[in-house]
């Protein structure tokens, strides 16, 4: 059965109580009805990734803090570190802030640090008893996303080959720990839809730990069929973000957004229930295919206050979660199992 509701803490961690310590933020999440927290690994005030990769005792202590405050850790996240595994030079300055100050301005050192972070995350996930982890893929090809000017033959293939070469040692590290690595398909990443996931997975040699975090909001904003996506990719969907969005194109702007701010873009993230995504259908399909991971709310909304969005998120997810049936609805009319009768019915 699907687990949840859980909440991704990245958008809530801060300097003011109850968002300034792991214990306090867990207690706050529990008070809203969440049963799990998805934990970013880039803020040592909340989680010491290096220590967690080495110490089962530390991981047991962190799990104990969560449990004492009414929740459990659903998964770890390395979104910011994963972004730095592959950065096109056009984005060097914009993404430099994701790295420690000591290596900012040094792309090679930054990439090596990111790889080390992901390797530690694999070990930390295992020490916590987790079986899935979420990250971003980074991007070498994103500046060439639109085919103008015309791309040279082989450019895309070379880009995915290099991306796969950077990630294969990390995927192997996760495989060694028995943990699935789930890429959040996201604009700005080379892995942003089904086609790019297929390209990447093929370039890795169809690596068994290469999987997906399903977030329908990013698919809606690309005008993809986010329900058909589940039908196609359900074997690879090991994690999910429950996040809403809306797309309202105008005579002036569409998917590309016209460089407008979030509040003015035709495609916007919204708090749960305020957008256009059919979550009843999503939860039905995921239940149909036996998804047993966590339903994790990620709050991103350009209109609603985060604390209101968080308070509304837990009951929204709870309302949509489905307890799988253990019997067929028409069992009351069953004729039972009788092979001789079956043969007689068939005229045999």
- pTM to 2 decimal places: 0.96
> Distance (Å, rounded) from C-alpha 241 to C-alpha 297?
6
Q: What is the pLDDT of residues 284-338, one digit of tens each?
A: 999 999 999 999 999 999 999 999 999 999 999 999 999 888 887 777 777 778 8
Is pLDDT of 187 > 90? yes
Report cis status (omega within 30 of 0) of the bond before 149. Answer: yes
Q: What is the pLDDT of residues 64-100, one digit of tens each?
A: 999 999 999 999 999 999 999 999 999 999 999 999 9
Helix (H) or strand (E) holding 246: strand 244-247
SS3 of residue 8 by DSSP = strand
Polymer length in residues for the chain: 348
Q: What is the pLDDT of residues 101-132, one digit of tens each?
A: 999 999 999 999 999 999 999 999 999 999 99
Is pLDDT of 34 > 80? yes
pLDDT recorded at residue 338: 87
Q: Which residues pair with 37 in a beta bridge?
A: 7, 73
pLDDT recorded at residue 242: 98
Q: Where are the alpha helices (DSSP H) in the chain?
A: 22-31, 49-54, 56-68, 79-83, 92-96, 107-127, 155-177, 194-203, 216-220, 226-233, 279-288, 306-320, 339-345
Is pLDDT of 229 > 90? yes
Mean pLDDT of the chain: 97
Is pLDDT of 281 > 80? yes
Q: What is the pLDDT of residues 205-228, one digit of tens each?
A: 999 999 999 999 999 999 999 999
Query: For the packed helices 107-127 and 56-68, what is the interaxial angle rounded to 10 degrees?
Result: 70
pLDDT recorded at residue 74: 98
CB atoms within 10 A of CB 288: 13
In the chain, the domains with their CATH numbers are: 3-345 (3.20.20.150)
């Amino acid at each position: 059965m699907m687990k949840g509701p859980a909440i991704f803490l990245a958008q809530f961690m801060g300097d003011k109580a109850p968002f300034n310590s792991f214990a306090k933020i867990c207690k706050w999440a529990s008070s809203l009805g969440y049963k799990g927290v998805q934990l970013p690994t880039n803020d040592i005030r909340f989680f010491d990734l290096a220590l967690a990769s080495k110490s089962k005792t530390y991981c047991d202590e962190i799990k104990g803090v969560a449990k004492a405050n009414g929740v459990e850790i659903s998964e770890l996240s390395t979104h910011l570190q994963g972004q730095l595994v592959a950065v096109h030079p056009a984005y060097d300055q914009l993404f430099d802030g994701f790295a420690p100050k000591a290596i900012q301005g040094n792309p090679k050192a930054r990439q090596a640090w990111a790889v080390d972070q992901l390797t530690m995350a694999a070990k930390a996930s295992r020490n916590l008893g987790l079986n899935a982890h979420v990250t971003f893929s980074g991007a070498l090809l994103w500046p060439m996303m639109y085919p103008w000017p015309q791309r040279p033959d082989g450019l895309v293939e070379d880009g995915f080959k290099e991306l796969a070469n950077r990630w294969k040692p990390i995927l192997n590290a996760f495989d060694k720990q028995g943990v699935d690595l789930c890429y959040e398909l996201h604009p700005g990443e080379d892995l942003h839809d089904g086609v790019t996931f297929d390209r990447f997975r093929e370039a890795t040699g169809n690596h068994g730990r290469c999987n997906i975090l399903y977030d329908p909001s990013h698919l809606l904003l690309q005008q993809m069929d986010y329900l058909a996506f589940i039908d196609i990719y359900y074997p690879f969907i090991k994690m999910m973000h429950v996040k809403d969005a809306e797309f309202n194109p105008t005579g002036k702007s569409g998917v590309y957004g016209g460089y407008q701010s979030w509040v003015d873009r035709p495609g916007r993230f919204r708090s749960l229930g305020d957008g256009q995504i059919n979550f009843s259908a999503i939860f039905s399909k995921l239940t149909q295919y036996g998804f047993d991971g966590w339903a994790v709310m990620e709050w991103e909304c350009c209109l609603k206050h985060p604390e209101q969005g968080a308070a509304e998120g837990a009951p929204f997810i709870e309302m949509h979660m489905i307890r799988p049936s253990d019997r067929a609805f028409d069992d009351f009319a069953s004729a039972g199992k009788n092979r001789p009768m079956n043969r007689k019915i068939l005229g045999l």
